[in-house]
Amino acid sequence: MRLDKYISDAMICSRSEADRYIKTGKITVDGKTVKKPDHKVTEKNEICFNGEKLFYSEFIYIMMNKPQGVISATDDPKNIEKTVLSLLPENYLTKGLFPAGRLDKDTVGLLILTNDGKSAHRLLSPKHHVDKTYYVECDKDFAEKDIEICKNGVILDGELTKPCILTIDCEKKNCGTMVLTEGKYHEIKRICNHLGKNVTFLERITFGNLSLDRNLERGMWRHLTPGEVGVLLK
Ligand code: URA
59-86 pLDDT tens trace: 999 999 999 999 999 998 888 999 999 9
Can you give the length of the chain in residues?
234
| CA–CA distance, 2 with 130 (Å, rounded to integer) | 37
Whether the per-residue pLDDT at 181 is higher than 90: the answer is no
Residues with CB under 6 A from ligand 1: 103-104, 107, 186-189, 202
| pTM score of the predicted model | 0.92
- Going by alpha carbons, the residue nearest to atom 2 of ligand 1 is 186
Q: Is 104 a catalytic residue?
A: yes
Q: Which of 189, 193, 204, 207 to mutate to test the pocket of ligand 1 (most atoms within 8 A of CB)?
A: 189
Handedness of CA 145, 151, 152, 155 (dihedral sign): positive
How far, in Å, from the CA of 234 to the mean position of ligand 1? 24
How far, in Å, from the CA of 40 to the mean position of ligand 1? 46
| CA–CA distance, 66 with 135 (Å, rounded to integer) | 14
Q: What percent of the chain has pLDDT over 90?
A: 90
* Residue 106 CA, closest ligand 1 atom number: 6
The β-bridge relationship of strands 199-207 and 108-114 is parallel
| CA–CA distance, 91 with 201 (Å, rounded to integer) | 33
What is the crossing angle of helices 226-233 and 117-124, to 10°? 50
Average pLDDT of the residues in 143-167: 96
Q: Residue 155 is which amino acid? A: I
Torsion of CA 62, 66, 70, 76, to 10 degrees: 20
- Annotated catalytic residue: which of 104, 106, 141, 213? 104
Q: For 160-177, give the DSSP string.
A: EPPP-EEEE-SS-TTEEE
How many Å separate Cα 63 from the centre of its chain?
5
